[in-house]
C-alpha cells in the first residue's frame, strides 16, 4: 500500500515516516505537532519525553475549551499517550534517515501533520461511542549549518583579507 503524504518533495536529503490509524486523539495530536514543527529532532524528542514525564505541558491554542492554565503559558495539557506515539514515529523517521545515509545531527522536522482517521464503533456496552484514531505524517530534512566561522575571527578582518586577495590577483 502506498501512502499519499500531504507534503510532496523531490529532495534527496529527506526522510519520512507515517503512523496509520493510531489510537490517539486527533485534537491532541494537532496541538503536539504544532508545538514541535520546525524544531531540530533532538529538541523535539526531548520535549516529547518531558511531556510523557509530566514535566512540560503542551500549549493548547486551538482546542482549548475548558482547559486550565499551566505555568508559563495559557491553556495547556499533558497528552501522554499521544506524545508517546508521536515520539515513536519521529524515532522511526530518524532511523529511516540513518538508513538513507543522512547525518542525524542536523535533522529538523520539516513537515509534521495529524489527520483524522476512520472511527470504528466500539463493542459491548460502549457501542454507542466511536474510537479515536489519527494518522501522523513526519518528514525530516537534513539541514547543515552554513559555513562556520573560525574562532576569534571578526567579519571585518575577513573583508580585508578578501580585498587583499583581489588586489594580489590583479
What integer pLDDT is reported at residue 166 of this predicted model?
Answer: 66
Q: What does the pLDDT look like over 75-110, one tens digit per residue?
A: 999 999 999 999 999 999 999 999 999 999 999 999
Say what the pLDDT of residue 54 is. 94
Q: Is residue 100 part of a domain?
A: yes
Say whether pTM exceeds 0.75.
yes
Residue 36: which CATH number? 3.90.470.10
30 lies in some domain: yes
Is position 6 within any domain? no
The total domain count for the chain is 1
| Residue 151 resides in a domain | yes
In a domain, 59, yes or no: yes
- The b-or-e profile of 126-164 (16+ CB within 10 A means b, else e) is eeeeeebbbbbbbbbbbeeeeeeeeeeeeeeeeeeeeee
| 9, part of any domain | no
Whether 5 is covered by a domain: the verdict is no
Phi, psi angles (nearest 5°) of residue 17: -150, 155
Of 52-56, 94-98, 131-135, 146-150, least confident by mean pLDDT is 146-150
- Per-residue pLDDT, averaged over 130-141, amounts to 93
10 vs 159, which has greater pLDDT?
Answer: 10
Q: Domain range for residue 147?
A: 14-169
Amino acid at each position: 500500500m502506498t501512502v499519499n503524504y500531504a507534503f510532496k518533495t523531490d529532495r534527496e536529503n529527506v526522510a519520512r515516516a507515517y503512523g496509520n490509524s493510531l489510537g490517539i486523539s486527533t485534537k491532541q495530536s494537532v496541538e503536539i505537532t504544532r508545538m514541535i514543527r520546525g524544531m531540530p529532532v533532538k529538541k523535539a524528542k526531548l520535549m516529547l519525553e518531558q511531556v510523557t514525564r509530566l514535566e512540560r505541558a503542551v500549549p493548547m491554542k486551538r482546542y482549548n475549551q475548558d482547559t486550565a492554565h499551566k505555568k508559563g503559558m495559557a491553556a495547556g495539557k499533558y497528552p501522554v499517550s499521544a506524545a508517546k506515539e508521536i515520539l515513536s514515529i519521529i524515532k522511526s523517521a530518524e532511523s529511516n534517515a540513518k538508513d538513507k545515509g543522512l547525518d542525524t545531527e542536523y535533522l529538523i522536522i520539516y513537515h509534521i501533520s495529524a489527520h483524522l482517521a476512520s472511527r470504528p464503533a466500539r463493542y459491548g456496552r460502549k457501542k454507542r461511542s466511536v474510537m479515536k484514531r489519527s494518522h501522523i505524517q513526519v518528514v525530516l530534512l537534513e539541514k547543515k549549518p552554513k559555513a562556520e566561522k573560525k574562532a576569534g575571527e571578526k567579519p571585518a578582518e575577513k573583508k580585508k583579507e578578501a580585498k587583499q586577495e583581489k588586489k594580489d590577483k590583479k
